[in-house]
Amino acid sequence: MGMAASITHDAVQGPPPPPIDIGWGGGGEPGGRGADRRASFTGLFVLLAASTMVFAAFTSAFVVRRGLSDMNDWVSIHKPPILFVNTAILLVSSFILDLSRRALKAGARSSFNLWWTIATALGILFLAGQAVAWYQLKQAGVYISTNPASSFFYVLTASHAFHLLGGVAALVYVDIQALRLRLGPAKRTAIDVSAIFWHFLDGLWVYLMILFYVWG
Amino acid sequence: MSSPVHAVHHAPHSFFRKWIFSMDHKVIGIQYYLLGLFSVFLGMSLSLLMRYHMVNPNVAVSWFGKLWPTAAAGGIMTPELYLSLMTMHGTIMVFFVLTTVPQSGFGNYFLPIQIGAEDMAFPVLNMMSFWTTFLALIVMVAAFFVQGGAPLSGWTAYPPLSGAGPLTGPGEGLGQTLWILSIAIFCGASLMGAINFIATTVDLRCKGMTLMRMPLTCWTWLVTAILGLLGFAVLLSAGVLLILDRTVGTSFFLPAGMIINDHIIANHKGGSPLLWQHLFWFFGHPEVYIAILPGMGVTSQLLSTFSRKPIFGYRAMVYAILSIGFLGFLVWGHHMFMSGMNPYSAMAFATLTMCIGVPSAIKTFNWIGTLWGGKIHFDTAMLFALGFVSLFVTGGVSGIFLGQPALDLYFHDTYFVVGHFHMIMGVAAIFGMFAGTFYWFPKMFGKMMNEKLGKLHFYLTFIGVYCIFTPMHYVGIAGNPRRYADFTQVEYLGKLIPVHQFMTYAAFFTAAVQLIFLFNLIWSWWKGPKAAVNPWNCTTLEWTVPSPPPHDNFGGVHPVVYRGAYEYSVPGATADFIMQSDPAPVVSGD
């Protein structure tokens, strides 16, 4: 009996007051745009956590593998200077993407379309720049199996580029919707989600650049 | 449709959209369940072949020779074939059964219903997740059929064996590459699943379903999804590096100076096989909890329901689930005590490993507290939940031994470990699946399962698995190494052969008993008596809807939840359970 009496407060005291929305999504009105939008953001952040783990694993492998290289196994590669140009392009694209979101908030649809298209184009330009960097490395005789420094350079840049392909696809999708004037409130979530993903890839690239130039 | 709240979502009519490329979480859950059912029988068959060979290494079996003209020429298995069976048994069981059924199968079906949602947050992603898993299974099974056959390197795929290519053994060519590819595909599928599970739990709970009112099953699915998310991402990275070592000649894991089958390996240098072990076990240990946590959730749900008492210490259970999930990421090194790690690191990993004993003991204590003084109904589902507790304790106790570096150095490569992980990760988790099957089958298929057959199946299986795996601890302590295809020629192991024969008989017996389950499943689905809405008098939301539930789960009504999930035998209440969705005031009967 002693245990049964302590089951829960509201079982004994009668029906509880209307459930309190404790935040964190729960307990609110189900269905509808609000839940979809919240779920999209949650899904996005879960995806970012997964991507972060992928690169954290690569980084730990990088650090361990570098620490093991006691026989001049790890030879720093000469990195193509175009990487800095690419970095600048990616940073600018992120910046313009946010100009574009601000334009939308201010109701300036046409400047939103313009800025977003420019940012998308810069994203594609970044990918092209990365391809040039790989080509220059190949011309210099630096391949993926040349030494661990080059192995990690190719693995990390390719993994980043793979993520970026997804990001560009999202930007292009939004852009097509925008240019066809189908940018209803439902698409605002797509805009925000793809922009946050893009900023994440931008930050990730800056991190990788630091990794390459400090330890690579 | 004059629904008070909103329109009912109709199911798609075409066969393909409804049953094959379905976006309905319930159909996807059943698809996952069937994929797991196929995989578990495949994995079990492989283990029977292994057990047969172990005790009859020199007996020629003509159909072995027909199945594997080179690897079992003349009907006698080569040691390499034995290793490939072992690898595929472990891989198929761990990934396509233990990871798939409790989480993606039951979780997909019941998470949305239990939290009052119409579907998962991202139905298209959910569909893709299943078909990606299916593709991973196809690629994995394909490894049997390529030149050289399936890989030899175990489910842990340690390099150099897994990284150095066909020179190291017959399955180490295309077979091993397909293995890595399949695992990478599986990682992608798991990430998609994890995104869905987390977003659904966080954002789609119905009105009143606060976190602390969720059934414990939902808590375990949430934490399992988080573990899968973080763990499989790391395994994916490791797999990418391993496949590069194999195919393009990098040296992440392959050291210099290897001589393999009289060949000097000159194109690799400086890599670290230990690096793979760290990355693998950073995933591998959480994987153990991915397998067992949903079983814990089902057990908690069932012990409470079938003893007609609230779960003892709901909050403590939630915190125990969370801390098991957290600590699970800090103990991977206890799989590597043999690797020559610094003894101080080993001590840290051992201490953290012991810490996991605390939340595990809290859970066990609370399960017993739940049973204590309850009106226990011994339905088949409940028997399997009780069996889960038994196996979890048995397997957990041997884990305490293995968590000690000094003891692990002795036990590590023996059958003691095999007995340990089969008890706790294999059979306990499978008992969780059986419990879930008997409990939820009425809801999933609208029919009751046969209790007589169910109980017969339970008792024979329970005795059977203890007969298989308990003696493994004994032969392990006696020094019997694992992963050996044949130890009849080893003098000090000669006296253990009868024990192995006993285990082999027990394995065949237990496998045969599973046909009762299969028969029960099919027969009940076809001819079973019709299930009521709430045959077990449960409180959770899935028991408020028809069996099976309509396409949008709640027929266009948004459920509202007023109380926690375990209100059984509430004093003064008219029935001995109060549904979560029941708003009626409780008459005080003090």
**For A18-32, B380-394, B404-418, B502-516, which range has the lowest pLDDT when averaged over its residues?**
A18-32
**For B8-17, B93-102, B491-500, which range has the lowest pLDDT when averaged over its residues?**
B8-17
* Set of chain B residues whose Cβ sits within 8 Å of the Cβ of A155: 240-241, 244
Residue A71: predicted pLDDT: 61
Report yes or no: B497 and B441 within 8 Å, Cβ to Cβ. Answer: no
Alpha helices in B56-93 (DSSP H): 62-67, 79-91
Find the CB nearest B244 among A10, A14, A144.
A144
Domain for residue A7, yes or no? no
Of the candidates B209, B221, B231, the residue with the CA atom closest to the CA atom of residue B581: B209
A101: domain CATH number? Answer: 1.20.120.80
Give residues 522 to 551 of B whose Cβ lies within 8 Å of A.
none
Residue A10: predicted pLDDT: 38
Q: Which helix (H) or strand (E) holds B265?
A: strand B263-265
For A104-129, the pLDDT digits (tens) are 888 888 899 999 999 999 999 999 99
Contact check, Cβ <8 Å, A26/B205: yes
Find the CB nearest B252 among A7, A29, A61.
A61
pLDDT at A15 over 50: no
pLDDT at B588 over 60: no
Residue A188: predicted pLDDT: 85
Q: Helix, strand, or coil here: B568? A: strand
Minimal CA separation from A171 to chain B, in Å = 19
B564 touches chain A (CB under 8 A): yes
Picking from B128, B129, B202 by the largest number of A CB atoms within 10 A of its own CB, the best residue to mutate is B202
Q: Helix, strand, or coil here: A142? A: coil
Report yes or no: B65 and B74 within 8 Å, Cβ to Cβ. Answer: yes
B589 touches chain A (CB under 8 A): no
* Set of chain A residues whose Cβ sits within 8 Å of the Cβ of B125: 43
CA distance B155 to B335: 14
Domain for residue A11, yes or no? no
**For A25-29, A188-192, B78-82, B499-503, which range has the lowest pLDDT when averaged over its residues?**
A25-29
Q: Helix, strand, or coil here: B260? A: strand
Q: In the numeric block, which tokens belong to residue B167? A: 């020179």
For A143-171, the pLDDT digits (tens) are 999 999 999 999 999 999 999 999 999 99
Alpha helices in B334-427 (DSSP H): 343-371, 380-402, 405-411, 415-421
Domain for residue A119, yes or no? yes
Domain for residue A62, yes or no? yes
Of the candidates A106, A115, A87, A89, the residue with the CA atom closest to the CA atom of residue A175: A115
Domain for residue A1, yes or no? no
**For A107-121, A172-186, B472-486, B564-578, which range has the lowest pLDDT when averaged over its residues?**
A172-186
ipTM of the complex: 0.93
Residue B18: predicted pLDDT: 83
CA distance B106 to B238: 29
Residue B61: predicted pLDDT: 94
- Mean pLDDT of all residues in chain A? 85
Q: In the numeric block, which tokens belong to residue B474? A: 């004994």
Domain for residue A130, yes or no? yes
Of the candidates B426, B433, B447, the residue with the CA atom closest to the CA atom of residue B520: B447
pLDDT at A26 over 60: no
Residue type, A216: G
B194 touches chain A (CB under 8 A): yes
The 10 Å CB-count burial string (b at 16+, else e) for A12-29 is beeeeeebeeeeebbbbe
Instruction: State the residue for tokens 């009425």.
Output: B442
* Set of chain A residues whose Cβ sits within 8 Å of the Cβ of B588: 12, 14
For B348-392, the pLDDT digits (tens) are 999 999 999 999 999 999 999 999 999 999 999 999 999 999 999
CA distance B327 to B285: 10
| pLDDT, mean of residues A196-205 | 97
Minimal CA separation from B276 to chain A, in Å = 9
Domain layout of chain B by residue ranges: 298-528, 535-590
Q: How many CB atoms lie within 10 A of CB B421?
A: 19
Domain total in chain A = 1
CA distance B206 to B118: 10
Contacts of A107 (CB under 8 A, 6+ apart): none
Share of chain A above pLDDT 70, in %: 81
Q: In the numeric block, which tokens belong to residue B339? A: 């690797």
Of the candidates A135, A115, A120, the residue with the CA atom closest to the CA atom of residue A90: A120
Domain for residue A75, yes or no? no
CA B431 to chain centre: 10
Give residues 2 to 21 of B whose Cβ lies within 8 Å of A.
6
More confidently predicted of A200 and A33? A200
Residue type, B326: F
Q: Which domain holds residue A201?
A: 34-68+80-214
Kindly write down the DSSP assignment for every residue of B182-230, as one continuous string: HHHHHHHHHHHHHHHHHHHHHH---BT--GGGS-HHHHHHHHHHHHHHH
| pLDDT, mean of residues B419-438 | 97
For B281-309, the pLDDT digits (tens) are 999 999 999 999 999 999 999 999 999 99
Residue B581: predicted pLDDT: 93
Picking from B204, B227, B283, B574 by the largest number of A CB atoms within 10 A of its own CB, the best residue to mutate is B204
Q: Helix, strand, or coil here: B330? A: coil
- Mean pLDDT of all residues in chain B? 94
Find the CB nearest A30 among B116, B233, B279.
B116
Residue A30: predicted pLDDT: 44
Residue A6: predicted pLDDT: 39
Cα B552 to Cα A148, B115, B378, B463, B545, distances in angstroms: 53, 13, 33, 42, 11
Task: Give the CATH superfamily of B298-528.
Answer: Cytochrome c oxidase-like, subunit I domain (1.20.210.10)
Domain for residue A15, yes or no? no
Report yes or no: B95 and B134 within 8 Å, Cβ to Cβ. Answer: no
For B152-209, the pLDDT digits (tens) are 999 999 999 999 999 999 999 999 999 999 999 999 999 999 999 999 999 999 999 9
